[in-house]
Structure 1
Amino acid sequence: MKFGKRAIALLGTVVMLAPLAACGGSGSDSGASSGGKTEVLVWAWDSTLSRTVAGFEKENPDITVKITNAGTNKDEYTALNNAMSAGKGAPDIAQIEYYALPEYVIRENVQNISDLGASGYKDFYTPGTWSSVNINGGVYGLPLDSGPMAFFYNKEVFDKAGVTQIPTTWDEFYEAAKKIRATGSYITSDSGDAGFFDSMTWQAGATPFSTSNDGKEVSINLTSDSGVKKWTDFWQKMINEDLIDTKTAGWTDDWNKGLNDGSIASLLTGAWMPYNLLSGAPDGSGKWRVAQMPTWEQGGTENSENGGSSLAIIKSDDEAKVKAAYKFLEYATHNAAGIKERVDGGAFPADNDTLASEDFLSMTSLKDADGKDNEYFGGQEFNKELAKAAANVITGYKFLPFEVYARGVFADDVGGAFTDKSITLQEGIAAWQKNLKSYAESQGYTVK
């Protein structure tokens, strides 16, 4: 997926345990547009989704689909919450990131689509994405795309530093970081990103959060989780020795400049990154490569997700609308033609069939803004690495039922460990945990 800024923010001040009024589409009782067709309103920022509309409407002439960009990430969630609170104006389908989906499920705002056919799709999607839409025994969306973590690196900078064997463990990553720093570059950057923290602790085997099936009790255990400690101890060492760039904020012009000129030599990020590199760091064309994430033990394969989103149906009593919405959901995320339209537009797939297809695996180039082929990764069949990364995602990681809030305040509590070194990561995480517990209690949760 071609993600933009991974913006995170507060979902609002609604008490999370109280289900909001469900309202789909335009709010009409019949679910039909003036032309006698059922109209399905979709809110999504994904630029590839619109490519599926023509094919869908040709197969379903009684349904029209209208896609609206209500904003990316926090902006859409804020608009969605406002519409739900008002009881009108919500869409029929919304793009919801995997980390944000649990809170909409807990609040009973999205439709359980198990009985509509989705319950049998487990083997169709990658383990990580399927796990993310299965919550409390129900299926509350279908995976739109995925973001398995991968190691994107500038081979030219690595070669210059004498790092000719790509790190496969975090110990090797540390040694490579020292060599690269000696050349004037940083092996990577992190100025305090909550999504990155989740992904890295997830890969380390952490399970700091859980929520009871009834949504009333949450467990928050950051300070004593062994996986969290493993990652924060390692990353603190990297910070202490000035081996990562903590000053350059991600998704800024300076960040793109660092990727472009090689002063930031690699990224640990989601598989949706290729097109962002092509547009943000064009001078890196031919220099960059893709590898698996370093792991904690030699020969390990453990991986996690970073980003990716689902399409979910907003809960409604209008059965005709729900059925029409599900048809589009299936076409865009489960139908081979719909998926191909999006993947051809740059989306990273969530389904096993595409990830195993020869056309996908043999790709060596990206389409630039002018439609020309660009072998950004030096002729590497980069999707082979990304598909392997998707297959290795550990399942079972749980997000908080107020994850959007949690990520929104991460920098407030942990940012000092990066910006001015006024605190350690461990101290920042402890402050974040205290904040999250206090917030959870204020929202009516019982906190363990």
Structure 2
Amino acid sequence: MRTNSRRRIVAAVAVTCALALGTTACGASDPADGSAVKDVASALEAGGKVTVWAWEPTLKKVAADFEKKYPKVDVELVNAGTGDKQYTALQNAVAAGSGAPDVAQVEYYAVGQFAIGKALEDLAPHGASSHDQTFTTGPWSAVRYDKGIYALPMDSGPMALFYNKKVFDRHGVAVPTTWDEYVEAARALHKADPKLYITNDTGDAGATTSLIWQAGGRPYKVEDTKVGIDFGDAGTAQYARTWQKLLDERLLAPVTSWSDEWYKGLSDGSIATLSIGAWMPANFASGAPAASGDWRVAPLPQWTRGAKAGAENGGSSLAVPKASKNKALAYAFIEYATTGAGATARVSEGAFPATREDLESKAFLETAFPYFGGQQANQVLADAARNVGTGWSYLPYQVYANSIFNDTVGKAYVSSTTLAQGLDAWRNASAKYGAEQGFSVGK
């Protein structure tokens, strides 16, 4: 849904970029002088204060562990709001020239927006380039922009199919392995009980782009100030055709995700599946405790039978704003929080790892989930992480693009507009905005 705060964020960042187009490519890295890596060790020795803006709860343990390891360092965790609320505060601080944190949590889809506005430090000179093999493909690609590394991945959201086994067993419906089977399962469940839906959907930009990603669609191309937006590829068309069937036959619950009604649907089984990121298990346990033991995790249905294609849905990184007064110490903290002992500690607190090492650890893979009937669900989720499709890009103003999703694609949920028509309208509106901000936009 469009919000004024999101408009202000992207407008301010994009205008900064547009003003810079005549002198340098947006997102270009500052030259590395080789001294920054040494500065990190010196900063830890000297100590000081690091202010971290983040809403992710596992960072509390990380901060405590970091302070214990480096007694001269004081980590101040500040919850400046979730998502766009924090982004508004961050952009206001950047614009004012004061009050910015040393570290900020930034979701993957928003990294490019802040990087291109030169609001984030390029971390490559600080040592981030050494982590080229540390993280899984999707998160690592999401924090890189125009040869720079603008954050380190904090978690990961490879998609899987969470399904209510009790509901499927009761009605004798097989768990779908393809999207065609998914449509058939949706019909069978709704026919068996008109109050039962295979999933909910009222229009969600992140879910839509993730399923397009899995289908092989690559609608966004970004190179310096050149932006390509094209929803006419085969993968996008395949997604639109399939999802249109679910809309036309009214097989999707008209329930907004994260609402009380949504959690009720997950609890009573009237919402039978979720195709969502691997970070979801903790939300099941806290939001729908009554359904403990009913749900299981399976691989995401495939667009082509026998394939193992995946995509990311959600996830966040830790970045160092350009306005940080202590960049070397800030980098030391985010490196600790996202790799090695810090990453392992976060996983033990319930985060889904973005690091290859943690994904492959025996303890992680053999964790049994009581909520999922004792299933070792991480084995499914880790496999999903290994099969995330490469080559995906977000727009450098994706926050704005997502904010107009319901004004374009969202019409397919409430009118005779088709998804294909809605996607075309989304493309045109996003392209128009990009051109107004100084980008060269084509297909």
Q: Quick check: TM above 0.5? A: yes
Question: 1:249: Cα distance to partner?
Answer: 0.9
Question: Which residue of 2 is the match for residue 434 of structure 1?
Answer: 428
State whether structure 2 residue 288 is matched by structure 1 residue 288. Answer: no
The offset of 1:9, in angstroms, is 3.8
Residue 241 of structure 2 corresponds to residue 236 of structure 1 = no
Match of 2:365 in 1: 361
1:405 equivalent in alignment to 2:405: no
Contact kept? 1:12, 1:81, Cα under 8 Å: no
Aligned-pair Cα RMSD in Å: 2.0
Task: Tell me the equivalent position of 2:322.
Answer: 315
Distance 2:15 2:217 in 1: 26
Q: Which residue of 2 aligns with 1:226?
A: 234
Query: Structure 2: how far apart are the matches of 1:178 and 1:378?
Result: 26
Match in the other structure for 1:83:
93
Partner of 1:111: 121
Instruction: Quote the Cα distance in structure 1 between the aligned partners of 2:293 and 2:425.
Output: 43
* Equivalent pair of 1:17/1:106 in contact (CA under 8 Å): no
More helix by share: 2
Q: Does 1:130 align with 2:147?
A: no
Q: Which residue of 1 aligns with 2:415?
A: 421
2: CA distance between counterparts of 1:139 and 1:64?
25
Partner of 1:347: 351
- Stretch of structure 1 that moved more, 192-201 or 120-129: 120-129
1:42 aligns with 2:37: no
What is the CA-CA distance between 1:58 and the residue it aligns to? 2.0
Structure 2 match to 1:57: 67
1:219-260 per-residue CA deviation (whole Å, 9 max, x = no partner) reads: 1112x2221111011100111122222x11111111111111
SS at match of 1:151: strand
Report the number of matched residues: 412
Does the 8 Å CA contact 1:15/1:443 hold for their aligned counterparts?
A: no
Paired amino acid for 2:266: L
CA distance in 1, matches of 2:191, 2:171: 8
Q: Work out the CA distance in 2 between the residues paired with 1:200 and 1:12.
A: 25
- Secondary structure class of the residue paired with 1:394: coil
CA contact (8 A) 2:113 2:398 kept: yes
- Between the aligned partners of 1:407 and 1:427, the Cα distance in structure 2 is 17
- Give 4+ residue runs of structure 1 displaced > 2 Å after superposition: 8-13
Residue number in structure 1 paired with 2:81: 71
Which runs of 5 or more structure 2 residues have no equivalent in the other structure? 21-45
8 A Cα contact 2:10 2:399, kept in partner = no
The 5 Å alignment of 1:11-410 reads 11-14=9-12, 16-19=14-17, 37-164=47-174, 166-184=175-193, 185-213=196-224, 216-222=225-231, 224-245=232-253, 247-316=254-323, 318=325, 321-336=326-341, 338-365=342-369, 375-410=370-405
> Which letter maps to 2:183?
Y
Are the aligned partners of 2:129 and 2:149 in contact in 1 as well (CA < 8 Å)?
yes
Kindly tell me: are residues 83 and 377 of structure 1, through their superposed partners in 2, closer, same or farther at Cα, counting changes over 3 Å? same
The letter of the residue matching 1:230 is Q
411, 427, 437: which is aligned to 1:443?
Answer: 437
Name the SS of the counterpart of 2:301 in structure 1: coil
Task: Decide whether the 8 Å contact of 1:15 with 1:444 is kept in 2.
Answer: no
In 2, Cα distance between equivalents of 1:317 and 1:340: 27
How far residue 433 of structure 1 moved from its aligned partner, in angstroms, is: 1.4
Instruction: Determine the C-alpha separation between the residues in 2 that align with 1:146 and 1:152.
Output: 16
Residue by residue over 1:20-78, the C-alpha shift from the partner in whole angstroms, topping out at 9 and shown as x without a partner, is 99xxxxxxxxxxxxxx8421111101011111112111222222111101100010011
Question: When the two structures are superposed, what TM-score results if normalisation uses the length of structure 2?
Answer: 0.89
> Is the Cα contact below 8 Å between 2:13 and 2:113 reproduced in 1?
no
User: Deviation string for 1:55-109 (max 9, x for gaps)?
Assistant: 1112222221111011000100111111111111111111001110011111111
TM-score scaled by length of structure 1: 0.88
Query: Is the Cα–Cα contact under 8 Å of residues 103 and 324 in structure 2 kept in the other structure?
Result: no
Task: Show structure 1 runs of 5+ residues with no match.
Answer: 1-7, 22-35, 366-374
Q: Aligned partners of 2:346 and 2:47: how far apart in 1?
A: 25
Cα contact 1:9–1:407 (8 A) shared by 2 = no
Aligned counterparts of 1:424 and 1:440: Cα–Cα separation in 2: 24
Shift of 1:12: 4.5
| Partners of 2:309 and 2:69 in 1: CA distance | 41
